[in-house]
Amino acid sequence: MNIDTSLRNLDSLFPSTFTEEQKARAKTLFLKNLSLEAHRWYGGKMQTVPKCGLFGFNWFNVWYTPGVSQISTTIRDNNDASFALSNRGNLVAVVSDSTRVLGDGDCTPPGGLGVMEGKALLMKYLGGVDAVALCIDSRNREGKPDPDRIIEFVKMAQPSFGAINLEDISQPNCFKVLDELREACDIPVWHDDAQGTACVTLAGLINALKLVNKKLSDVRIVLLGAGASNTTIARLLMADGADPDRIIMFDSRGALHRKRKDIETDPRNYRKWELCQQTNPQGIDDMATAMKGADVLIALSTPGPDTVKQEWVRSMAEKAIVFACANPVPEIWPYAAKEAGAHIVATGRGDFPNQVNNSVCFPGILKGALLVRARKITDGMAIRCAHSIADFAERRGIHPDNIIATMEETEVFAVEAADVAMQAIKEGVARCTLSWDEVYQKAMADITAARTLVQDMHQQGHIQAPPQELLEEALQKAIAAVQ
């Protein structure tokens, strides 16, 4: 079998005798097998290349000593000049202690490199933003992850970067790290698992509710999982108009409500305790009960496919919306949710319809923040980004299997950047003032340049296509494991 290197139409690769469940399992295994072999073949995903001209060896005297002394003294006298005279103005650090990598948990500090390099790849190709992966050992003398060590590391590293992207930090440490760094740093500190996922979830839900003719303020929402993602989703939903009395959230010990003394007495869980006080006033403590008549389920919990039961979905309101966004396997397969009566189903994966994934958000929001040299990313900027994504998709047309913009829609990232930049200026957190069109044009130019560079490297042979044997072996292993 000759496999299209673009990996389009993955479903066609598997035997026609496979059930929907077998096909879904086989796709997951194929992508995992291929990922391992492709990473080994390429030696990772990222490299460093110059952006300046090297027209002769005397140019090293310009880019390095003695000429570069003028750069050092200029920045010394005005630190903000570093954003224009170095790559700092377009450079993001992707920082993680790798204690909660996707659905795999603690993968040890270097275990997060695959995800963090992936983040850097997406930032460059989708947003025209340079990024570097920094997986750090935050363990203290007792061998436990220490949020204060992450905070201190980021504070020390911030002079080299225009923004910090926190990633895959386990709770409750993730709450303290983000909240303290957002105030302590003079550059944006963004937790993509939390804020990015919240942005794109809100964007998808805005359009899903339009399609089922329901209002955010009226719907009953159940959130399964109370980690960094869902707690931030709940906060943004309420900030954008959702009724907290109609929200019920579940963690691994049950529903969040005012009687959860285990959460109240642990000061590290202050974000969850806030939600205990704001939501679920009836104190409903059973998932099956909460799901009866619910309009929306947003699940970011244990990877499935049996975490969310079909009977729960059957008990939901008419035209129910199900977001099953655990990675790498959703809490319920989309086909199973549809069989149970869900009208709109979304997951975090790109090989199913309606990918609600933060990759549609973070390249654009970070680009906008960088272009106006924002000092932080506020909740207002995050909400504006969500509406930007939703509005973009609505303008080009939405339907139940296409509720949100995708990574293939290049322009969405430039539009997000411009909308977010305007919000930063409005809120007074931008160092410089640009027009919407100036941000949009600059973002589009940088995104186009990044994509053209990759295409040129393909054409010149600097990036080679993986051999067919590698793809075929990954596929056959997946099929054999499922049969």
Q: What is the DSSP letter of 131?
A: E
**Residue 113, token pair as written in the block:** 């490199």
Longest alpha-carbon distance in the chain? 74
**Residue 23, token pair as written in the block:** 């096909």
Give the residue carrying structure tokens 């993955």.
Answer: 10
- The Cα–Cα gap between 87 and 49 comes to 12
Catalytic residue among 23, 27, 45, 119: 119
Q: Are 189 and 376 in contact (CB under 8 A)?
A: yes
What is the Cα 53 distance to its own chain's centre? 34
Sign of the torsion angle spanned by Cα atoms 151, 182, 179, 114: negative
Catalytic residue among 42, 64, 259, 426: 64
Nearest one of 54, 136, 128, 175 to 370, comparing CA atoms = 128
Contacts 24+ apart (CB under 8 A), 35-42: 35/114, 37/466, 37/470, 37/473, 37/474, 38/466, 38/470, 39/114, 41/466, 41/467, 41/470, 42/466
What's the burial of 18, exposed, middle or buried (CB within 10 Å: 0-12/13-18/19+)? middle
* Residue-by-residue DSSP string for 350-389: TTSSSB--GGGTHHHHHHHHHHTTBS---HHHHHHHHHHH
Q: What crossing angle do the helices spanning 362-371 and 436-460 adopt, rounded to 10°?
A: 120
Q: Is the peptide bond before 66 cis (omega within 30 degrees of 0)?
A: yes
Give the residue carrying structure tokens 């983000």.
Answer: 178
- The Cα–Cα gap between 236 and 189 comes to 17
**Residue 209, token pair as written in the block:** 């509710």
Indicate if 119 belongs to the active site: yes
Nearest one of 242, 218, 240, 204 to 398, comparing CA atoms = 204
* 3-state DSSP assignment of residue 174: helix
DSSP β-ladder status, 296-299 and 344-347:
unpaired
Q: Which residues are catalytic?
A: 64, 119
